[in-house]
């Protein structure tokens, strides 16, 4: 393997380790108490947040988003992803309003939680769901913006020419 390939592999491993660490830190208080039914969804939200943040920062290094057709497909899928995340999160927040732990999973211990512990767990669940959903949606929206920016090149000579031709066309139509 050459140095470039090793560097790419090290970067990938680093980002996946960061994602795993963030997911562990966020979800360990929940998983320590209940057998969480929506663990996969929450891990997905955390992965989306971390990796899409990475894609936004290092957009030009992303192999998948180099061609225009893949950018268009990503644009469409990201819009659908935002809608899915928000609708699923709305469903889970409504479940959290019931204040029933059984809606989210079974208790790991045989001892029942008191009202205070149940309230604190449900409050943490709600806040964690909102944080993960909003951060994933914001990252998807920012990635959409970054894709649009790369397609149209705002601030570039191409965009200036487009705007100039539009204003020239508009002024010629008014005369």
Cβ burial, residue 32 (10 Å; 0-12/13-18/19+): exposed
| pTM > 0.85: yes or no | no
| pLDDT tens sequence across 2-49 | 888 888 889 889 999 999 999 999 999 988 888 889 999 999 999 999
Q: What is the pLDDT of residues 99-156, one digit of tens each?
A: 788 888 888 877 788 888 888 888 999 999 999 999 999 999 999 998 988 887 665 5
Task: Decide: helix, strand or coil at residue 35.
Answer: strand
- The two structure tokens encoding residue 9: 């592999």
Range of the domain at 46: 3-174
| CA atoms of 4 and 34, how far apart (whole Å) | 44
Any residues with CB less than 8 A from the CB of 55 and at least 6 apart, and which?
Answer: 62, 65, 143, 146
In the chain, the number of structural domains is 1
What pLDDT is stored for residue 155 in this prediction? Answer: 54
Integer angstrom CA distances of residue 169 from 134, 160, 163, 174: 41, 14, 10, 9
Q: Tens digit of pLDDT for each residue in 44-84?
A: 999 999 999 998 888 888 777 888 888 899 999 999 999 99
């Amino acid at each position: 393997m050459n140095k470039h390939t090793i560097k790419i592999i090290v970067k990938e491993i680093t980002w996946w380790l960061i994602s795993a660490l963030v997911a562990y830190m966020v979800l360990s208080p929940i998983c320590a108490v209940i057998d969480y039914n929506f663990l996969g969804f929450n891990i997905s939200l955390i992965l989306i947040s971390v990796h899409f943040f990475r894609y936004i920062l290092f957009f030009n290094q992303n192999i998948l988003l180099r061609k225009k057709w893949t950018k268009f497909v990503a644009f469409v899928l990201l819009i659908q992803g935002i809608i899915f995340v928000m609708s699923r999160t709305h469903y889970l927040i409504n479940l959290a309003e019931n204040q029933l732990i059984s809606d989210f999973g079974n208790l790991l211990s045989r001892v029942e939680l008191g009202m205070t512990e149940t309230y604190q767990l449900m409050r943490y669940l709600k806040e964690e769901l909102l944080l993960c959903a909003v951060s994933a949606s914001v990252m998807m929206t920012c990635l959409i913006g970054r894709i649009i920016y790369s397609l149209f090149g705002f601030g570039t000579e191409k965009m200036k020419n487009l705007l100039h031709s539009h204003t020239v066309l508009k002024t010629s139509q008014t005369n």
